[in-house]
A = this chain, B = another copy of it.
Amino acid sequence: MAATIRIAVLGASGYTGADLVRLALTHPGVEIRALAASQSAGKAMADVWPHMRIYPNLPPLLRAEDMPWDEIDAVFGCLPHAASAELLAQIDPRIRIIDLSADFRLDDEHIYAEWYGVAHPAPALMQQAVYGLTELARDSLPEARLVACPGCYPTAALLALLPVARAGLVKPANITINALSGVTGAGRSLKQSNLFAEIAEATAPYGLGHHRHMPEMEQELAKAFGQPLRISFTPHLLPMNRGELATITVELGAGATIGQLRACLVECYADAPFVHVLPEGVAPATRMVRGSNHVVINVFADRIAGRAIIVSAIDNLVKGSSGQALQNFNLMFGLPEDQGLQAAPLFP
């Protein structure tokens, strides 16, 4: 049996950090060697997370500066943007990085500065990053030192769009993405808008006309189409913990049909263990994938002639974040793609 890979998780007091630990706990090839969480340093995971109560033997939470970098083979970065790049730029190049922040997703530091409001802390490192939408980045992962995991919305949207964009089956004009997300997407920060009583029994859109996942989606779509484009994207917050659904209206390419779009996606994901194009007519639902790394996608005719509706659903914390990070890690280290990720979705 192969030696286990020693991992560290930075930002283990956030939802994505905790979900990374949850999944890594049952990954046979991984040893959770160290955990960092600056504001909770000194505490145990059991004190910070209810579902970690039963794991009293996890490593304690450290300050980032106290991490035993010598004993780490791979680090998962679950820190806020800017903080992530600043820290990761300083660690030993021997250590491979799977970053879940926004810091290494964009190719262009100027666009980063424009959307994130700060100069990029590590522009050189930015250039080394592989954009880790796993299914469409598979070849680049084994050699990558630094993988930037996509945002949750881009994961749901791009898995649905990139194959048909590359195949010329849809037009770059007027791509309209409506997305619905569970509240864990907003993080664990103490904001009034995250309180139970403010969220339950209600919904609303946010980031109307301007959301940080826009440039990331436009960047990848531009590569697929071979031309720059602008998309419409409107996310909504829903009264549920997990789950993300993208409902995307597109204009069909000349002569393209709904059947061709479905066939293109079926073929593209034929060997992908986590992406499932549903039988014709079956609508994707977040309950199909809750708690798992799976993705469900389907294509429908729009009532407006010449248009299609593509729908995809993920768990925002798993395929939209920590699960995809682990999937990328597996491919970086030559492990089976689904290791640590085999648990079936949890329903109800």
Contact B303 A198 (CB under 8 A): no
Among A196, A290, A342, residue most surrounded by chain B Cβ atoms (within 10 Å):
A196
Which residues on B sit within 8 Å (CB–CB) of A117? none
Distance (whole angstroms) from the CB of A172 to the closest CB of chain B: 11
CA distance A194 to B190 in the complex (A): 9
Other contacts beyond A234-B247, A234-B309: 11, CB < 8 A: A18-B347, A51-B287, A54-B289, A183-B197, A190-B190, A196-B239, A204-B286, A204-B287, A204-B313, A205-B283, A291-B291
**The residue from B182, B214, B236, B346 contacting A22, defined by CB atoms under 8 A apart:** B346
A residues whose Cβ falls under 8 Å from a Cβ of B: 15, 18, 22-23, 25-26, 49-51, 53-55, 174, 176, 178, 180, 182-184, 188, 190-192, 194-206, 208-210, 214, 230-234, 236, 238-243, 245, 247, 249, 276, 278, 282-292, 294, 296, 300-305, 307, 309, 311, 313, 342-348
Contact status of A208 and B283, CB under 8 A, knowing A230-B304, A236-B245, A240-B200: yes
Which residues on B sit within 8 Å (CB–CB) of A182? 201
CA distance A345 to B55 in the complex (A): 11
Distance (whole angstroms) from the CB of A30 to the closest CB of chain B: 13
Which residues on B sit within 8 Å (CB–CB) of A230? 303-305
How often does this chain occur in the complex, in copies?
4
Q: List 30 A-B contacts (CB under 8 A).
A: A15-B197, A23-B344, A26-B343, A50-B287, A50-B288, A51-B287, A51-B289, A53-B276, A53-B288, A180-B180, A180-B238, A182-B201, A194-B195, A196-B198, A196-B200, A200-B200, A201-B240, A201-B241, A201-B290, A203-B238, A204-B283, A204-B287, A205-B311, A209-B309, A232-B309, A234-B309, A238-B238, A239-B239, A242-B348, A291-B291
Among A15, A204, A313, residue most surrounded by chain B Cβ atoms (within 10 Å):
A204
Contact A249 B289 (CB under 8 A): no
Contact B345 A51 (CB under 8 A): yes
Distance (whole angstroms) from the CB of A192 to the closest CB of chain B: 7
Which residues on B sit within 8 Å (CB–CB) of A305? 230
